[in-house]
Each structure stands twice: as structure tokens, then as C-alpha cells.
Amino acid sequence: MQSLVSASAYHFGSYRIAVEQRGSTTRQVARRPRWSKTVIIKLIKEARRADRELHWSAVCKRRDDLGRAAFAALQPRLFGSWDRALHAAGLDADDINQYRKWTKDTVVTELRARHRESMPLNSGAIQKDDPGLHAARGSAFRHL
């Protein structure tokens, strides 16, 4: 409940102070487990075996341990990113992610592949055939 934590910080200066104003200690109200790399990897593997969606937009909406583990995985002391957590669990993040991550190299590779296959390289054709490549093409070369 990030909104509650943020509101506490805004109104009281920190979540800890807000809890203390209530008459409790953070230790008394904290129900979250202490996350470790091992626990997060275990949850990812269990979810994979259960054929659950593991892409970021699916896991961040979950209100279970997997959803909480996904946010915990972002901590620098753990994985620093969800993709790194997936990789640590033996999964390929690119295969799991719903959206492809484009770089200048991947844009060039895709354009070369279209050329080899005699596919049109004009903007309209690319926009129709591969909207993701079209959007990435524009942003990847905007600063050249």
C-alpha cells in the first residue's frame, strides 16, 4: 500500500512516525516477511510451475507474496530489477516480458532482417507490420 506509506510520510514525516502516533511500533504492525534472494527465486519458480504470468505488469498488480516479492526484488540489496530476479530464477526476461526492449542495435538488426526478406522499409509499412519497431525506430535515431 504505497499510497498509505506516501501519505504517512507527507503528513507525519515518515511512516514510522505515523505508526508511533497511532500508539504502536513499526515492528508491531509490520507483517511483511524479510525478503531474501532465495525466497524471491523460490516464489518465481513456483509461479512459473503454476503457469502464472510473470511479466511486470501482471506481477505488480498482484496482492499476494509474488506481488510483494516483485517489489522487494527492486531493492538494490536484492536484485535491483525484476528482470534480474527472473534471470536469477533461471528465466529469460525477454521471453517473459510483454513488451520488447529496443536499442539502436535491435532496431538496426530488425531493419536489416526486413531488407533481407525484401520487406518494405518505408515508415507506413513498418508502422502497419510492426508498430513496436516503428515507435522504437523513431526514438532510437532521434538524437543522431
90 and 40 in a common domain? yes
Looking at per-residue pLDDT, the higher value among 36 and 126 belongs to 36
- 94 and 37 together in one domain: yes
Q: Do residue 14 and residue 41 come from a single domain? A: no
Shared domain check, 46 and 95: yes
Domain count, the chain: 3
| pLDDT digit string, tens, across residues 3-22 | 777 787 788 887 778 778 87
Tell me the pTM: 0.53
Predicted confidence (pLDDT) per residue in 70-98, tens digit: 999 998 889 998 889 999 999 988 778 76
**25 shares its domain with 51:** no
In the numeric block, which cell numbers belong to residue 117?
526478406
What is the residue range of 12's domain?
Answer: 1-31
Select from 28, 98, 9 the least CA-distant residue to 58. Answer: 98
> pLDDT at residue 129 above 60?
yes
Q: Are residues 69 and 83 in the same domain?
A: yes
